Amino acid sequence: MRVIDFRLRPPFGAFRDLIVFCDSARTARLSRGLGFDLAPSVQARSMDLLLSEMDAGSVKCGVITGRTDTVFGSVGNNVIEQVVAAYPGKFIGVAYIGPHNRKVAIEEIERAMASGFKGVVIEPGLAQPPMYLDDGRLYPIYAHLEDRKIPLVFMAGGNAGPDTTYSSPEHIDRVARDFPDLTIVSAHGNWPWVSQIIHICYRRPNVYLSPDMYLFGGLPGASDYINAANGFMADRFLFGSAYPVVPVDQAVREFLKFPLKDAVIDRVLYANAARLLGLD
C-alpha cells in the first residue's frame, strides 16, 4: 500500500506557530471530537516522530501548504521550501498565494513553480479582509492558473471564513463553471455542505474532493463522501489527514475501515494525487 496525505502541516519552523500547534488545547479538543488523541509527534513537536508515524501509515509523502496573514497564523513559502529540501521525497510543496494583489500573486506563482512547487493554495475567506472564492478580483489569478495548467487548492470547508457562508459550495461552483480547464481541489470537502458539493462535482469534472478530517468521528455526510468515492468520484477523490488534528497513521487505518471498493483504494490513497501533482 502507498499513500499521499493531501493535507499535512509538519512541526517544522514557523508551522509550530500556527494555531494548530501553539494552541494545543484547541487542537486536542478538535481531535477528541473526531475520536482521536493527539499524535506523539504533535505533543513533542517532533519531525522524527512524524516521519515514523508516516511510515507506520504507509504515507510516502505529505502535501504541505503555507498561509500568510490569516486568522490561523502565517507560514511563508520559503518555509515550505526548507521542509522539502530537508526531507527529500517526503513532502510536496503547494505554494500559498495571497488573494489581494493579483500582480504580486502572479509573480509569486511563477517564482514558486520555477522552484519546484506542484500547485497553489488560496484561502480567501481567511485573508484580511476576507473574500469569497468567486470574488471577481480573484479571476485574473484563476485565469493565469488555468492557462498555466497549475492545480488550485481551495480552503473551502470547515472554518473557511468568518461564518459558514464562506464554505457554501455555490462559490466554488461558479469558479469551476467560469474556469472549466482549471483543476480545483476542495480541501475540507466543503463540509458541512456534503450533498451540495457532491452535486457540484457531478456537474463540474474539474473539481476534486479532499474531505480529510471531516470523514472521521461519525460526522454527518461521511457515508455520502465514501459513496461518491466508490462511484463517479473514484478518480477525483483525495485522502488527507489534516494532521496535526488527526494522526497520520490512525487516519489511514480508519479510512481503510470504510466500505471502499478494492478497485478505488489505490486511486484514492495515492494515484489520484500523484496524477494531479504531476508525480512519476
What pLDDT is stored for residue 166 in this prediction?
Answer: 95
Tell me the average pLDDT across 117-141: 95
What pLDDT is stored for residue 67 in this prediction?
Answer: 84
Tell me the average pLDDT across 209-237: 97
Query: Residue 118 above 90 pLDDT?
Result: yes
Tell me the average pLDDT across 5-20: 94
Q: What is the pLDDT of residues 75-117, one digit of tens each?
A: 999 999 999 999 999 999 999 999 999 999 999 999 999 999 9
Residue-range domain boundaries for the chain: 3-277
Percent of the chain with pLDDT over 70: 99
Query: Residue 52 above 70 pLDDT?
Result: yes
Query: Residue 39 above 90 pLDDT?
Result: yes
What pLDDT is stored for residue 73 in this prediction?
Answer: 79
Tell me the average pLDDT across 61-88: 90
| 3-state DSSP of the chain | CCEEECCECCCCHHHHHCHHHHCHHHHHHHHHHCCCCCCHHHHHCCHHHHHHHHHHCCEEEEEEECEEEECCEEECHHHHHHHHHHCCCCEEEEEECCCCCHHHHHHHHHHHHHCCCCCEEECHHHCCCCCCCCCHHHHHHHHHHHHHCCCEEEECCCCCCCCHHHHCCHHHHHHHHHCCCCCEEEEHHHCCCHHHHHHHHHHCCCEEEECHHHHCCCCCCHHHHHHHHHCCCCCCECCCCCECCCCHHHHHHHHCCCCCCHHHHHHHHHHHHHHHHCCC
CATH 3.20.20.140 fits 3-277, yes or no: yes
Query: Residue 208 above 80 pLDDT?
Result: yes
Query: Residue 196 above 90 pLDDT?
Result: yes
pLDDT band for position 69 (cuts 50, 70, 90): low
What pLDDT is stored for residue 24 in this prediction?
Answer: 87
Average pLDDT, the chain: 95
Tell me the average pLDDT across 211-220: 96
pLDDT band for position 127 (cuts 50, 70, 90): confident
